[in-house]
Amino acid sequence: MLVLDDVQRIAAPELDYLRFLVDVPTTHTCLVLCGAGAERTLARTPALASRVLTWQHVPRLEPSQVPGVLRLFHPLWDTAIDEDLLHTDRTHARGNFLTWAKITSHAYAARSRAPDTAVDRALLTWACSRRRVAAAWIPLRDA
């Protein structure tokens, strides 16, 4: 399985290469092409578009879905308080799963450096900050 995001940025020759990859009888390749406008991009390469088995539209998460979906997505969120997740969704992610994947990556990296760090609003605020350097984050400890 090959998953490609931002397919709308891929030029037609590269898309043709993907079609050739899928067409080789000895490969068992499945392409998952993602991105806003992917259907318009594939329309420019009808040979690949004709091989599409299904189209899926993934809408933004509703606020009520955020805690449950995140806990299914990554165990990092198992101990997070729903209100902290909902606050972060309101202020940063706005139901965008890709944004949540980035937040998860930053928070996971921070916890790998400091495993005792709580998954709380402070960690979420730090993970959402784009002005700070990840290596500069040091968790605060109670005295």
What are the pLDDT digits (tens) for 40-61?
888 888 888 888 888 888 889 9
* Predicted structure pTM score: 0.68
Mean pLDDT of the chain: 86
Q: Is the pLDDT of residue 137 over 60?
A: no
Q: What contacts 46, CB < 8 A, 6 or more positions away?
A: none
Q: What is the CA radius of gyration of the chain?
A: 19
Task: Give the pLDDT of residue 124.
Answer: 96
What is the pLDDT confidence band of residue 143, given thresholds at 50, 70 and 90?
very low
What are the pLDDT digits (tens) for 3-44?
888 889 999 889 989 888 888 888 888 888 888 888 888 888
The number of beta carbons lying within 10 Å of the beta carbon of residue 32 is 11
Question: From CA 128, how far away is CA 99, in angstroms rounded?
Answer: 9
Task: Give the pLDDT of residue 63.
Answer: 97
